[in-house]
Amino acid sequence: MNIVGITTSTADRKRRAGQRLIIGLAGPSLTEEERSLIREVRPGGFILFARNVEDPAQVRELNRELLSLLPADLPPIRCVDQEGGRVQRVKAPATVWPPMRWVGNVGDLVYTEAVGRALGTEVRALGFDLDFAPDADVDSNPKNPIIGDRAFSADPRRAAEHSAAFVRGMQAVGCIACAKHFPGHGDTATDSHLELPTVEKDPPDIEQIELPPFVSTIAAGVATIMTAHVVYPGYDAEYPATMSSRILDGLLRKKLGFNGVVISDDLEMKAVRGRWPLHEQLTRASSATVDVFLACKEIGLQIEAFESLVRLQEEDKRQEDLAIDAVKRWHGLRLRYLAGADTMPSLSVLGAPAHELLARRARAEGRG
């Protein structure tokens, strides 16, 4: 994939394709294969997992290196899943946060906002720009194997209020928040990492139970929303939300009025991986107004996704227009949130006494 000597039009398509990918890495340091891929693809962002973490200083340095590998006018948005509870990639000496269910159980929105501020501050100190939090699902199915206490509540109103408060706190300190998993993963009985779940509810029920936290986080100004690899036959019996224009363009964009960045859940998850050709997944998801795609580990999939996103623009003018819109939204997020190194909090904020007090309160008042 040598871009030397190609036309400006093709170069632009490749630039846009790269900007629409958030890619993951294999370990705590970059391999030469990964460096080569980064130089070629110029991804719009990176995501780190526990496999990439040794200690806070190493994480911060890896994030600095990732920033250095890309052009200054297209800095990557560096991402992490740092929710608290079961989903926390960087642990001690960072504050070890309890599940957000416990935070919601405290029943104090000022407190929840403070948790969002503290968690966002630590995420920024580690060199990240975007945290895939909060989980804005409603834990409406006790048999759900993947959401549970990641959600603020089983009550839609409480989940909505606390999700919005958390978003306000996190984004107030310059950390991009992401409400997930639209339009709701809380009523599934299966895990989309392993299979394709279905939520057998009519739209009025979904709108009363699953949607309130997304409505509230949109009102709070949430910058990004992640899609669910879940089928909702009441809206679309054939495709999961990630690939559904009825759900994303029709419901999220038009009905709920969200004009921020829509990010897919991981393309490697078994809910979608291999069920449809990747090119079809990307075509349908792009048509549904997904802006950016997560490809969290496999280099082969990352390359295939990049090449497919280039080809989409070559095959269809509408797809090229959609890609232009997607990259504009992503770049707008970059302009709004990415701060210089001089504004990055010090690593000394990790596990700060005030943050530990916040975590302790949830353990004392919200457990159970």
Catalytic residue among 137, 265, 266, 291: 265
Residue spans of the chain under pLDDT 50: 1-7
Selecting among 191, 193, 316, 331, the annotated active-site residue is 193
23: helix, coil or strand?
A: strand
Class of residue 33 by CB neighbours under 10 A (exposed 0-12, middle 13-18, buried 19+): exposed
Residue 44 contacts residue 79 (beta carbons within 8 Å): no
Quote the pLDDT of residue 339. 66
pLDDT at 186: 86
Q: Is 307 exposed, middle or buried (0-12, 13-18, 19+ CB in 10 A)?
A: middle
Return the pLDDT at 223: 98
Instruction: Give residue 8's pLDDT.
Output: 53
Which ranges in 126-184 belong to alpha helices (H)?
156-172
Largest CA distance in the chain: 63
Looking at residue 303, its pLDDT comes to: 97
Say yes or no: domain 17-365 is CATH 3.20.20.300.
yes
What pTM was computed for the model? 0.95
**CB burial of residue 346 (10 Å; 0-12, 13-18, 19+):** exposed
The answer to whether residue 265 is catalytic is yes
Pairing between β-strand 231-232 and β-strand 236-240 as defined by DSSP bridges: antiparallel
